[in-house]
């Protein structure tokens, strides 16, 4: 019998079969982690809420009570909606935007709502990336009430996000007569900073901030984080870091400034410091993205749990039909999943809607990773036309052009 002459192939066959069998037996599908359960401990804390000890929260509760008694009281509704929108910005939480919309419900669908309602409706619409609807609202306001500074300001910001810089700058001009000088300068110079005049814009904002000592903390913080972003784009990283720290000292909760600061740290390779700053902010998708990118760079333990959590958030967002996270998701897919084609697809879809420097950067970086300079052509053309100064974007663009 040929039993002794064991053929190597046969052994490999048999061993593979046995391994598969044992593997299938051992790794039975286990129960899902999120399976519903009935807690056994009454005192188990299920969820933490934005604390009701927060003074703004108290004010909200008060306003909601007043509005519940008289839902068509415009003054109360506007007050509550403004507070909700501001809270939504501070916490980067869209739930408050929906509640602001609910407060404005009696006026929301009217053919011609009051101008103040239109301004807030525009703010909510732009957050949902309905830029055209938002601009239509604001155009009505500025023709009805040309002395409404919020309308001009919001209009300028939206036009700037769309990359329509000439119109954005024009929308700042009426502010000269309506608001303190520093606010006008911020609006006007921040457009210059994106269109080839960054150094001059930086000096103007810095000077204006120095001369307006009475400016509120909000204005100062806005100015400082604006300066920081300009400095970062110019490659003056130390200045930028210092300015971000000053801005965050005024308002440590500002998720926008924190995200921008962490981006700078990631660019400089200070991944550990970046991770530390956002380690306990995983409730915020944008900050969770930074944490994931930082942990990805350092190979930290526990990183994969954060990757899964973020992927689940993007999946949940897709399930409800949202497309507002494409810029961030493209960075995630590019930096962590390393799927350049998919990242390019997301970044290109995002670029069709919004055109801030980071939208351009993600678009070009994805095209570079996918070795597809042709796909990046609209982005490169925009870079040339706008004269945007950004050392990191310029470097990516140069690599892309070298590919051609």
331-360: contacts with other proteins (CB under 8 A): none
Which segment (39-47, 206-214, 238-246, 361-369) binds other proteins by CB under 8 A?
Answer: 39-47
Alpha-carbon span 388 to 368, nearest angstrom? 19
Alpha-carbon span 376 to 393, nearest angstrom? 12
Helix or strand holding residue 133 (H, E): helix 131-144
* Number of residues in the chain: 404
Neighbours of 310 (CB within 10 A): 21
Binding mask 217-236 for other proteins (x = CB under 8 A): -xx--x--------------
CB of 325 to other proteins, least distance (A): 8
The residue among 57 and 272 lying less far from other proteins, judged by its C-beta, is 57
Using CB under 8 A, pick the residue from 204, 233, 306, 325 that binds other proteins. Answer: 325
Instruction: Enumerate residues 146-165 that contact other proteins by CB under 8 A.
Output: 149-150, 153-154, 157-158, 161
Using CB under 8 A, pick the residue from 110, 252, 321, 402 that binds other proteins. Answer: 321
87 within 8 A of 253, measured Cβ to Cβ: no
Which pair of structure tokens corresponds to residue 221? 């913080």
The residue among 17 and 269 lying less far from other proteins, judged by its C-beta, is 17
Instruction: Enumerate residues 71-130 that contact other proteins by CB under 8 A.
Output: 82, 85-86, 88-89, 91-95, 97-99, 101-102, 105, 108, 123, 126-128
Q: Which of 100, 38, 106, 122 is nearest to 70 (CA)?
A: 106
DSSP 227-244: HHHHHHHTT-HHHHHHHH
CB of 371 to other proteins, least distance (A): 31
Q: How many residues bind other proteins (CB under 8 A)?
A: 92
The residue among 86 and 272 lying less far from other proteins, judged by its C-beta, is 86
Instruction: Enumerate residues 284-313 that contact other proteins by CB under 8 A.
Output: 284-287, 309, 312-313
Q: Which of 366, 365, 325, 359 is nearest to 345 (CA)?
A: 366
The residue among 36 and 111 lying less far from other proteins, judged by its C-beta, is 36
CB of 95 to other proteins, least distance (A): 5
DSSP 134-178: HHHHHHHHHHH-TT-HHHHHHHHHHHHHTT-HHHHHHHHGGGGGT
Q: Is 6 one of the binding residues for other proteins (CB under 8 A)? A: yes
Instruction: Enumerate residues 362-401 that contact other proteins by CB under 8 A.
Output: none
275 within 8 A of 303, measured Cβ to Cβ: no
């Amino acid at each position: 019998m040929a039993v002794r002459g064991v053929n190597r192939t046969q052994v490999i066959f048999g061993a593979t079969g046995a391994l598969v069998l044992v593997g299938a037996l051992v790794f039975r599908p286990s129960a899902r982690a999120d399976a519903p359960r009935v807690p056994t401990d009454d005192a188990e804390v299920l969820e933490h809420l934005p604390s009701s000890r927060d003074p703004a929260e108290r004010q909200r509760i008060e306003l909601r009570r007043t509005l519940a008694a008289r839902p068509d009281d415009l003054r109360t509704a506007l007050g509550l909606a403004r507070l909700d929108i501001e809270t939504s910005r501070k916490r980067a939480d869209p739930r408050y935007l929906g509640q602001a919309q609910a407060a404005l419900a009696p006026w929301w669908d009217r053919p011609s709502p009051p101008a103040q309602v239109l301004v807030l409706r525009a703010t909510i619409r732009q957050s949902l990336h309905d830029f055209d609807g938002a601009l239509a609202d604001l155009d009505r306001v500025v023709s009805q009430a040309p002395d409404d500074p919020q309308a001009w300001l919001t209009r300028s910001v939206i036009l700037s996000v769309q990359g329509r810089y000439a119109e954005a700058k024009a929308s700042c001009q009426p502010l000269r007569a309506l608001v303190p000088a520093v606010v006008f300068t911020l609006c006007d110079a921040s457009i210059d900073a994106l269109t080839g005049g960054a150094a001059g814009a930086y000096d103007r904002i810095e000077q204006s901030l120095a001369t307006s000592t009475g400016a509120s903390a909000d204005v100062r913080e806005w100015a400082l984080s604006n300066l920081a972003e300009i400095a970062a784009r110019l490659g003056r990283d130390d200045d930028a870091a210092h300015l971000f720290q000053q801005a965050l000292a005024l308002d440590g909760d500002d998720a926008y400034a924190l995200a921008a600061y962490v981006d700078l740290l990631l660019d400089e390779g200070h991944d550990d410091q970046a991770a530390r700053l956002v380690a306990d902010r995983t409730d915020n998708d944008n900050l969770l993205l930074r944490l994931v990118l930082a942990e990805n760079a350092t190979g930290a333990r526990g990183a994969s749990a954060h990757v899964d959590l973020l992927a689940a958030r993007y999946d949940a967002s897709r399930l409800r039909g949202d497309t507002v996270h494409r810029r961030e998701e493209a960075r995630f897919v590019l930096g962590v999943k390393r799927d350049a084609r998919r990242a390019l697809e997301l970044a290109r879809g995002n670029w069709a809607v919004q055109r801030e420097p980071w939208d351009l950067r993600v678009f070009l970086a994805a095209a570079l990773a996918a070795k597809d300079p042709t796909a990046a052509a609209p982005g490169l053309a925009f870079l040339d036309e706008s004269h945007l100064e950004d050392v990191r974007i310029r470097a990516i663009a140069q690599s892309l052009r070298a590919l051609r």
